[in-house]
Structures are given as structure tokens and as C-alpha cells.
Structure 1
Amino acid sequence: MIACSETLSLGKDQGFIPQPGYLYFLLQGQMTLAFGDEQNLVGIVIAHMPLGLLEHYCPSVALYYQCLGECQLAKITASDFERIFFHSSPGYMQELTTILAYMGIFALDAHYERGSQTSFQTIKSMLSRYLYRSEIDGGQHESLSAFIIKRTNLSRSYVYQVLAALREGGYITVKKGKLISIDRHIPEKF
């Protein structure tokens, strides 16, 4: 795919809206994703997420991306993307399906956590989201507490208190600040 793409560089805090007929892949840096404008933040763009894919197949969707730092994207035409993923091999189609499934999971998680959840329920949903992220990005360097604090408006002390209680209760396994596993069903209330 890289062979038929061109590289696009974006600066820190630069907004980005995909051009019609093109898809983009984040090669370097970190970006946020929002519905419509930066005020409706959904979360951080996951590794290998094809930017512009949802907009290409559902033009009524208006997504807005913003760079958190310097970013590099691979820009590919939608027709080249379809040729590679739809017509090359079943393995590529399976990979695309996996990417789309993760995109859907993250969208549902983001929607759910912004609903009428308690702070504890928000942390609980972030645990699963953290595990999804670590499956996708094995080189994830962010600690569990930093991951939760960065994406919620919860206080640092409350997050630490809940994580410590879950760890002591045998609900989760954490090593060196990273969530290794959810070991048993976590109750609805803290």
C-alpha cells in the first residue's frame, strides 16, 4: 500500500478533513477524532485506522481530525485502497474487517462512556478499551492510570483509588502501570 501512496506532513494542532476520493493512514504522530468539529471529541485515532473510510462510504458523516503533534500520513486513492483490500487476497479483507471491528468497538465505547455512567462505570469501560488498545498497539507506553485520566474528567486521586481497589480485590492484574488482564467480572458499583 505504501508503494502507491504519497506522504503528507501535518503540524501540531493542525486540523484535518480527508479529501473526497482519498484515504489516509497515520504513519507517525498522534491525532484526535471528533464528530463535526473539535468540540465533539470521540478519542484518539487508533493505529492503522483508515482515515476517510467512513466518510467515503457514508458521505453524510462529518469527522474532524486534529494533530496532537507533528504527524505524517500516507495518502492513497480510494480506488487503490479498494483494489488492495477488496481484490488482492482474503487475508487483506480479513485485516480490513478487523480494523473496522475495532473502529466500531471504540465508537461504541466512546458513546457509552459519555452517557449517564457513574465515574466507576467510566473507569470500568476504560479497562476494556485499554486492553483493546494494547492488542492493536503492542508498543503502547502509556500507563493505565494516564490512559484513563487523559480521556476522562476524573480526578487523579479517584482513578488511583479505584484501580488500587480493583487490583487488591483480584479483579485486574497490573504490572509496571500496565493493565495485563481483567481476571474476573467487575461489579457495577464501587
Structure 2
Amino acid sequence: MPDTFPDYTKHLQLVMDAFINSNKAQKVTIPKNNKYLITDNIYCIQKGYFSIYMKHGERLMAYYEGQAIFGLTNYYTDPIYFYIKPSRTCTVYTVTTEEAQRIIAEENLYQSINYVLATNMARFFRIYEKTIGPNNYTFIRLLLQELNQASDEIKSSVTVASYIIKRSGLSRSYVMLVLSELRKGDYITMKNGKLTGITSLPERF
């Protein structure tokens, strides 16, 4: 099952354009590698590559590329706080939940909002799904597969060990042991600590 739905990009762009073009939208520039807290507003990111962290514990949730809108559920529920850290300077446009609700009603964007919310929910479900694996190795295996499917920019920006440790919370010694054994068995290939390929991964370790 894909994380995005047909016409998602079109609907995302409709919502983003409507929010950004509001005369009440605020433009914020986030320097490279600076933390930016997502709180109780609506946040529009037109493009970029950034990591998403939980507010407490600084647990890495995911790496994200491209356009994104965060905070759409804030109008209906208590805000979920997390922060993003861009790999290069990026621009965020923010509007209040009240302004967003006004725009949605005036421009009849309810269908488009549903597309964005459904896609965000599917993506975060995929993130959560990986955290409930039956054992530590299964978690590492899933994260290796995820990283292998990521863009070259993501793979070249982070070491395999760092990616797994920040996502899983597993000990560095255990992660390094698993990676070492997988390399010895020619299951994975790495260069300068970065993942370059996966031939296959054993089901068990």
C-alpha cells in the first residue's frame, strides 16, 4: 500500500498555495542544522530535505524530502510537538489554525485537506509500525531497507550507524556489531560509513 494517494500532489499544492498566499502568513527562514519547533500553528514547507525529531528525548522519527504541511490536526486536537532540522537553509510559511480554517472554508478545500491528512497519517503509521518489531534485529533490518530506498542525498548525508541509532534508540555497540556481521557476510556494502547497497538481508540474526 503506497503512502500517497492519487492526485495527492495536486491537492497538497492547492492547500499550500492557499495558505502561503494569505496576507496573514508569516515567512520564517531556518538556517541549516538549526532546530525549529512545530507547535500549534500550520506549517508549510515548499521544498527541502530535513529530519523530524520528537520534542522529548530527541528521538529521530524520519527523514523527509520535498513539500510538507504540518499541524493540520491542531484545529481539532491538542498540538503534537516535534521539531525539524533542515540539512540546508529552508523557508517555512506559518498561519494560525484559525486563519487556516477560514481559508479552507472560503476556498472549499475540504477534499484537499482530507488528501493531505490521509497521506500524513499513512506516513506516520509507517514510522510507528517500524517501532513495534518483534526484536531489535528486525528493527535494524527494516531501517536498513528504508535507508536503502531513500534518495542518494539522504544516503550520502548520514552514516548507517547514526541513522539506526537515532531512529531506534538501540545501543551503539549492538548496532555496530550487527552492521559488522552484515558486512562480513556481504549482505550490505558501505563506504565511509554510508550505505551503498544491499544484496540481501537475513531474516534472523
Measure how far apart 1:64 and its partner are: 0.7
Separation of aligned partners in 2, 1:32 and 1:173: 26
Separation of aligned partners in 1, 2:37 and 2:49: 14
Q: Any conservation in 2 of the 1:145–1:160 contact (CA below 8 Å)?
A: yes
Q: Any conservation in 1 of the 2:49–2:64 contact (CA below 8 Å)?
A: no
Q: 1:53 to 1:117 in 2, by over 3 A?
A: farther
Please say if 1:145 is aligned against 2:150.
no
Which residues of 2 match residues 164-179 of structure 1 at below 5 A?
164-179=180-195
Which consecutive residues of structure 1, in runs of 5 or more, have no partner in the other structure?
88-92
Secondary structure at the residue paired with 2:94?
A: strand
Measure how far apart 1:176 and its partner are: 4.0
Separation of aligned partners in 1, 2:196 and 2:63: 22
TM-score norm. by structure 1 comes to 0.61
Secondary structure at the residue paired with 2:27?
A: strand
User: Alignment length, in residue pairs?
Assistant: 170
Measure how far apart 1:127 and its partner are: 0.8
Separation of aligned partners in 1, 2:122 and 2:197: 21
User: Identity of counterpart residues, as a percentage?
Assistant: 20
Separation of aligned partners in 2, 1:186 and 1:61: 42
Q: 1:139 to 1:50 in 2, by over 3 A?
A: same
Q: Which residue of 2 aligns with 1:125?
A: 142
Please say if 1:46 is aligned against 2:67.
no
1:37-67 alpha-carbon deviations (Å, 9 max, x no partner): 62595624623342113545xx336411235
1:120-161 alpha-carbon deviations (Å, 9 max, x no partner): 2232122123234x23xx422111122112333334343222
Separation of aligned partners in 2, 1:173 and 1:18: 42
Q: Any conservation in 1 of the 2:182–2:188 contact (CA below 8 Å)?
A: yes
Q: Give the aligned residue type for 2:72.
A: L
Which residues of 2 match residues 94-109 of structure 1 at below 5 A?
101-109=122-130
Separation of aligned partners in 1, 2:193 and 2:108: 40
TM-score norm. by structure 2 comes to 0.58
Please say if 1:86 is aligned against 2:112.
yes
Q: Give the aligned residue type for 1:139.
A: E
Secondary structure at the residue paired with 1:63?
A: coil
Q: Any conservation in 2 of the 1:24–1:52 contact (CA below 8 Å)?
A: no
Measure how far apart 1:102 and its partner are: 3.6
Separation of aligned partners in 2, 1:82 and 1:99: 20
Q: Any conservation in 2 of the 1:33–1:64 contact (CA below 8 Å)?
A: no
